[in-house]
């Protein structure tokens, strides 16, 4: 036998090889993963809706309860968890392990679209995303530029990066953190409003009516 011949003729070499094999086996054994249950991600769909300026009670009655009622009868739905806070509603739907997450997401989108007219006009469109049970970001990319501002970087990421990253196989959701967008802020003089018998709602409605876009029809 070749192994026995080497062991007899070169005992030192055989001893060193044996010690290396034992050492490698011990190191590998200590690093083997041990799990009581298999690492399986449950199919989870999250529905997030922003309602800026609304209290938690308003968000609960006007958004969260409506969304929960619309998706409660979905096939394979296991549990529903929701939270309502000031300006934001979050609904998490966990499905059975044999439920295809893509089909479940399509069913959720269909249900949400049917009740979209019941949501407040001031609320943003519900964001429906697929995520794992951990719910943590797997990859975070930082953008920087010597001349571009943070608002310009946000606009660049929104135009050129988000859509490309979202369609990559295995990506559940791509989001922009710390974004800065252009906006207009108006500071009101309470004394001037009171002198003219105006309220904040009057100013808001005037801004909306003076900045409205409507279809003008077709000219032939």
Predicted confidence at residue 127, as pLDDT, reads 86
Predicted confidence at residue 11, as pLDDT, reads 79
Predicted confidence at residue 34, as pLDDT, reads 67
In this predicted structure, which of 22-26, 70-74, 151-155, 212-216 has the lowest mean pLDDT? 212-216
Closest Cα partner for 165 from 195, 132, 138?
138
Average pLDDT over residues 9-30: 85
Q: C-alpha distances in angstroms, 74 versus 63, 81, 99, 160, 171?
A: 18, 15, 11, 35, 24
> For residue range 21-35, what is the model confidence (pLDDT) as tens digits?
899 888 888 887 766
Please state the pTM of the whole predicted model.
Answer: 0.55
Rounded to whole angstroms, the Cα distance separating 64 from 56 reads 10
Of residues 183 and 41, the one with the higher pLDDT is: 183
Of the pLDDT bands very low, low, confident and very high (cuts 50, 70, 90), residue 208 is: confident
Q: C-alpha distances in angstroms, 209 versus 42, 68, 124, 158, 214?
A: 47, 33, 19, 28, 11
Predicted confidence at residue 64, as pLDDT, reads 92
DSSP state of 157: I
114, 67 contact by CB (below 8 A): no
Rounded to whole angstroms, the Cα distance separating 116 from 121 reads 9
Predicted confidence at residue 133, as pLDDT, reads 45
> For residue range 121-167, what is the model confidence (pLDDT) as tens digits?
888 889 888 765 445 667 888 888 899 888 889 888 888 988 888 87
The H-or-E segment that residue 198 falls in is none
Predicted confidence at residue 24, as pLDDT, reads 87
The H-or-E segment that residue 59 falls in is helix 56-59
Q: C-alpha distances in angstroms, 107 versus 46, 76, 100, 116, 127?
A: 13, 11, 11, 14, 14
Q: Is a pLDDT exceeding 80 seen at residue 43?
A: yes
The distance in angstroms from the start CA to the end CA of the chain is: 96
Predicted confidence at residue 1, as pLDDT, reads 56
Predicted confidence at residue 131, as pLDDT, reads 67
Contacts of 27 (CB under 8 A, 6+ apart): none
> For residue range 89-133, what is the model confidence (pLDDT) as tens digits?
999 999 888 888 888 888 898 989 998 888 888 888 898 887 654
Predicted confidence at residue 214, as pLDDT, reads 65
Q: What is the mean pLDDT of the chain?
A: 83
SS3 of 110-146: the string is: HHHHHCHHHCCCCCCCCEEEEECCCCCCCCCCCCCCC
């Amino acid at each position: 036998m070749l192994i026995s011949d080497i062991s007899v003729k070169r005992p030192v070499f055989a001893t060193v090889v044996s010690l290396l094999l034992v050492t490698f086996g011990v190191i590998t054994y200590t690093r083997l993963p041990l799990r009581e249950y298999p690492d399986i991600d449950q199919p989870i769909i999250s529905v997030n809706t922003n309602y800026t300026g609304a209290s938690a009670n308003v968000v609960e009655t006007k958004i969260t309860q409506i969304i929960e009622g619309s998706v409660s009868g979905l096939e394979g739905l296991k549990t529903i968890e929701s939270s309502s806070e000031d300006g934001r509603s979050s609904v998490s739907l966990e499905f059975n392990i044999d439920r295809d997450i893509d089909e479940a997401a399509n069913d959720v989108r269909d249900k949400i679209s049917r009740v979209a007219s019941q949501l407040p006009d001031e609320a943003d469109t519900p964001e429906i995303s697929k995520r794992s049970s951990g719910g943590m970001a797997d990859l975070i990319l930082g953008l920087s530029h010597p001349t571009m501002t943070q608002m310009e970087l946000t606009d660049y990421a929104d135009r050129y990066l988000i859509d490309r990253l979202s369609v990559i196989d295995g990506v559940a959701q791509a989001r922009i953190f710390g974004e800065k967008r252009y906006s207009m802020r108006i500071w009101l003089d309470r004394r001037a409003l009171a002198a003219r018998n105006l309220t904040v709602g009057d100013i808001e409605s005037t801004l909306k009516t003076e900045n409205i876009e409507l279809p003008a029809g077709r000219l032939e």
